[in-house]
Amino acid sequence: MKSIILSTRLILILLCATLLLSFNCHSSPSGTTSSPDLSNKIPVSSFLSEKDFNTLFPLHDKFYSYAAFIKAIDQLGAIKVKITRRAASVFQIIRTDKTTGKSTIVRQDADWNESWAKAKPDTSYTIDYGAVCSENDIQTNKKELAAFFAQIAHETRHGEDGKYNDGLMLMHELNTSLTYIADNDDYPAVKGKKYYGRGPMQISYNGNYGYASTCIFGDKNVLLNNPDLVQNDPVVAFKTAIYFWMTPQLPKPSAHDVMTGKWQPSAADKAAGRTPGFGMTINIVNGQIECNKGDKMPNMNDRIGFYQHFLKLLGASDPNCACSCGTMKPYAYN
């Protein structure tokens, strides 16, 4: 059950007050970032065949098919979003369909044009979902894919420890009685709906469903009204996982930026023991539960085991891997 962006104004204001400004020390947290250069993009399908996928996930549920995964990459890859934060808690999101060139404001908070909100410079960054496991050399792309697969394999595993053959088996968390509802002005829960963990990354809470829906569909209500879509539509399920991987959760970077070398730790990150590498992606995904607990944490080690297993099967390597988050402090909100 992954929390990603609980975008209530209250949380953002509290984060600001404690100098943990929401959404990340991404590539350039205080300026405007542009889209990556994808002119030399290497498609995932060019180095991952259906046979490879089935070898990596030999027990996967038929719901999680190779075809659904590639379709999710292709469809979401046509989308990029520009996220602008004004003051500490006022957001605008512009979503662009790269196939048509059409850009649409899909979120603009009510205080966007207030003079107090305009008093300080805006912070903007752009996320091009087409860059997932595709924008670098083949070895870097494979290393990122191994890391992504390791996280979703652990989140959805339902088998025997140490086998690393049991990923992509669960469509939702086992306990579906919990609602996972939190107060959220921007993404309020719909009466009667539950927002427990679903999909490869086990996305949870109404705020996260609403934010993901805004970026993926351009409409927050698609997943707020129908969270079961994540467990009933395999393409949507994979899209939520890719969205989670690519989208920073300030003050955290995106896992994509970590695995591609774009993220470099700030002084505060260094003081907290956070370093680039696979261990940092564990901190992003589930740091509050698994990090800063030493190197014998079972769940952390399961993720690391999957990563090393997938690296080998993909013909990639990470010889200087900072794989553990055992001495990394988690972020205040996870």
Q: What single string gives the DSSP state of each residue in 202-265? A: TB-SHHHHHHHHHHHHS-THHHHH-TTHHHH-HHHHHHHHHHHHHS-BBTB--HHHHHTT----
Confidence of residue 100 (pLDDT cuts 50, 70, 90): very high
160 is catalytic: no
Tell me what pLDDT residue 2 has. 55
Tell me what pLDDT residue 40 has. 83
* 125: enclosing H helix or E strand: strand 123-128
Average pLDDT on 3-15 reads 41
Average pLDDT on 169-178 reads 96
Asked if 131 and 257 touch (Cβ cutoff 8 Å), the reply is no
Compute φ and ψ for 94, nearest 5 degrees: -110, 120
Asked if 130 and 80 touch (Cβ cutoff 8 Å), the reply is yes
Cα–Cα distance, 181 to 193 (Å, whole number) = 9
Among 41, 80, 29, which Cα is nearest to 263's? 29
The pTM (predicted TM-score) of the whole model is: 0.90
* 108: enclosing H helix or E strand: strand 102-108
Cα–Cα distance, 254 to 258 (Å, whole number) = 7
Tell me what pLDDT residue 23 has. 32
Average pLDDT on 137-146 reads 97
Compute φ and ψ for 288, nearest 5 degrees: -60, -30
Average pLDDT on 134-151 reads 97
Average pLDDT on 301-322 reads 97
Tell me what pLDDT residue 35 has. 67
Tell me what pLDDT residue 10 has. 38
Query: Average pLDDT over the chain, rounded to whole?
Result: 90
Average pLDDT on 164-184 reads 96
Average pLDDT on 120-126 reads 93
Average pLDDT on 222-227 reads 98
- CATH class (in words) of the domain with range 9-314: mainly alpha
- What percent of the chain is modeled with pLDDT above 70? 89
Q: Does residue 43 have a pLDDT over 60?
A: yes
* Token pair for 252: 């955290």
Set 50, 114, 135, 155: catalytic member? 155
Average pLDDT on 218-232 reads 98
Confidence of residue 49 (pLDDT cuts 50, 70, 90): very high
Tell me what pLDDT residue 161 has. 85
Tell me what pLDDT residue 9 has. 41
Average pLDDT on 153-169 reads 95
Confidence of residue 36 (pLDDT cuts 50, 70, 90): confident
Task: Work out whether strand 102-108 and strand 90-97 pair parallel, antiparallel, or are unpaired.
Answer: antiparallel
Q: Please, which residues have CB within 8 angstroms of residue 19's CB and are 6 or more apart in sequence?
A: none
Cα 290 → chain centroid: 17
Q: Does residue 59 have a pLDDT over 60?
A: yes
Buried b (16+ CB within 10 A) or exposed e, 212-235: bbbbbbbebebbbebbebbbebbb
Burial class (CB in 10 A: 0-12, 13-18, 19+), 319: exposed
Average pLDDT on 241-265 reads 95
